[in-house]
């Protein structure tokens, strides 16, 4: 199987209550979308994260913890390392550790995603406290990309509600309905 650059890079931000949303999203996601998925989850800085291992059980795509200079490939899922800020440039990751601040990792990644990918950037905000991701969604939309917020199915609605209330969510859906909409967006993008 040849490796290709993704048509879209999909940033997925979440915090409290997002594990079930990640699982629902990946369970519904085909393994051959030609997209790359990057999960930015708030974690305790000292935690040993098993997120990649847990999520691997919910997709046929490879699930890997992102690392410095790792290339981003289509049909792969990447997870932010603990106590890190993650950005991207030229289809590869940049890792800053320790993280700069608390609960701003989604905004940091989404802003770099918007700048790098333009109309091929997608941001998804799932369950979580606070408003991380709202500013990032603003940047994605300003650069022509698309944004999603989890609907009232979110266990903790602060993060998705913040993006939606600010006017930066193009679509408000349950996680298992997002893959079909992504497929439509990819089909509509001819460039």
Q: Which residues are tagged catalytic? A: 15, 42, 132
CB atoms within 10 A of CB 76: 20
CB atoms within 10 A of CB 56: 16
Question: In angstroms, rounded to a whole number, what is the distance separating the alpha carbons of residues 91 and 72?
Answer: 5
Question: In angstroms, rounded to a whole number, what is the distance separating the alpha carbons of residues 137 and 153?
Answer: 20
CB atoms within 10 A of CB 129: 15
- β-pairing verdict for 92-96 and 146-150: unpaired
**59: which 2 tokens?**
């997709």
């Amino acid at each position: 199987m040849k490796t290709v650059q993704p048509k879209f890079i999909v940033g997925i931000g979440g915090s409290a209550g997002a594990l079930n949303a990640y699982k629902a999203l990946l369970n519904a996601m085909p393994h051959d979308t030609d997209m790359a998925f990057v999960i930015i989850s708030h974690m305790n800085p000292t935690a040993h994260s098993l997120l990649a291992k847990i999520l691997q059980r919910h997709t046929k795509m490879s699930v890997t913890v992102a690392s410095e200079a790792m290339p981003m490939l289509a049909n792969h899922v990447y997870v932010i390392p603990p106590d890190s800020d993650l950005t991207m440039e030229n289809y590869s990751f940049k890792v800053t550790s320790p993280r700069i601040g608390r609960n701003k990792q989604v905004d940091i990644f989404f802003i770099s995603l918007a700048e790098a990918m333009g109309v091929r950037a997608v941001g998804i905000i799932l369950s979580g406290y606070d408003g991380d991701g709202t500013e990032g969604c603003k940047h994605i939309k300003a650069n022509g990309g698309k944004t999603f917020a989890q609907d009232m199915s979110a266990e903790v609605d602060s993060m998705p509600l913040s993006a939606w209330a600010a006017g930066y969510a193009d679509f408000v859906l349950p996680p298992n309905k997002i893959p079909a909409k992504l497929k439509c967006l990819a089909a509509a993008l001819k460039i």
